[in-house]
A and B are shown apart, each in its own frame.
Chain A
């Protein structure tokens, strides 16, 4: 049997992870349902006054998506650690960083994409003006992969530890504060009719940087965490 090319290996890993995610379709619905519930709670808590809801809409949607992704992030490596396939991946001849990038991509497709699809609905429930929706989608399209990449590095560090849930939140929070600031800032600027391209550009630049660095850091972190 001839050795698979790098592209074939990447495609195979991506296909595997997406198939596994599809088999647990219910798990895909969880972050979406969570985001829906949280978003609907805000009008109940703050009153249905449209002006107030409009002001907080972008921030609430962003934070809710962030929290939903945080909940789903814990499961990124968990099942693979439990059945030993992650260690196989570490030992495989293919570059670990690229393999992990495929896993992160699969995870983003399975968790963040549904959230982005449902985000206009969430924003609509909070009366976000329709003109601002595209900006919200751009900022989510850039912010969610950033969160996936940053989160993957931290999940790799806590791989195999026991109480990783709360610890992950504590560690992820400082690192994604700038992402939230820029993403929410873009939508807020758009809402006020101000130019919004600059924060979006910052997010895009950070994404390009992390697309290269995060898988490498993730591979290093995984080696540290799995090395007993």
Chain B
């Protein structure tokens, strides 16, 4: 089976090699993310015109939609890594799955709060129990459940496998969140962005939105690199390569 996996991918599964790889990659990802984010913020807050219906309140879209899509994307990454961790017991997959969870929870939290702040002036209410908001809240609970289950075990690897199993069970919620606006009558508006074909949004508003979506993707990868690195240090703290690292570096 491993014949079709290229050697460099195999090597990346080794903790010290991934540690170095992620350490090199992270500053680039972060810089690009911040750059794109700054450009997107400028485009969204300053350049884009006010919406004819929602006025300037619509500008929350430039953070709400990217974070919402990230909350689903991160769950997908977590579920995929969980799958790898459970089937092939790859240590790095376990770490990636477990370290994606807090980032996903952060994005989901931001989505819910910014959505609430947008809903109050537009819908007149901070919250409503429609399908999309409820399923997004359920997503937050799933993330918290995965994090909680992981930390409830003495043996970290066993905890990671149990939490990975939970993450896989919860994957059914991701399509529910995504398609909820199509399947049910919701207060939340339908999809504006379309993968194939024109989107229902003005170009001046579209490009900051897409730029911010790219920025959040890159930020997620950068943050994941950082978290996986520090978790690898903890997991492998008895090994030689970590000892060399600790004694080699004087100070932070």
Contact = CB atoms under 8 A, between A and B. Distances in A.
A170 B149 CA distance: 10
Interface of B (DSSP majority class): helix
B162 interface: yes
In which size bucket is the chain A interface? 20 to 34
Contacts of A110: none
Given A162-B152, A217-B169, A224-B165, A170 B141 contact: yes
B190 interface: no
A188 to B, nearest CB: 14
Max chain A C-beta neighbours (<10 A), residue from B141, B158, B162, B173: B162
B173 A164 contact: no
Contacts of A174: 138-139, 141-142, 145, 170, 173
B142 A157 contact: no
Interface string B139-178: 1011011001100110100100110011001100100000
B82 to A, nearest CB: 11
Interface in A144-169: 153-154, 157-158, 161-164, 167
B84 to A, nearest CB: 15
Sorting the interface of chain B by its residue count into under 10, 10 to 19, 20 to 34 or 35 or more gives: 20 to 34
Interface SS of A by simple majority: helix
B158 A170 contact: no
A174 B140 CA distance: 9
A225 interface: yes
A173 B141 contact: yes
B134 interface: yes
Contacts of A162: 152
B152 A153 contact: no
Contacts of A7: none
A224 B141 CA distance: 22
Interface of B: 86, 134, 138-139, 141-142, 144-145, 148-149, 152-153, 155, 158, 161-162, 165-166, 169-170, 173
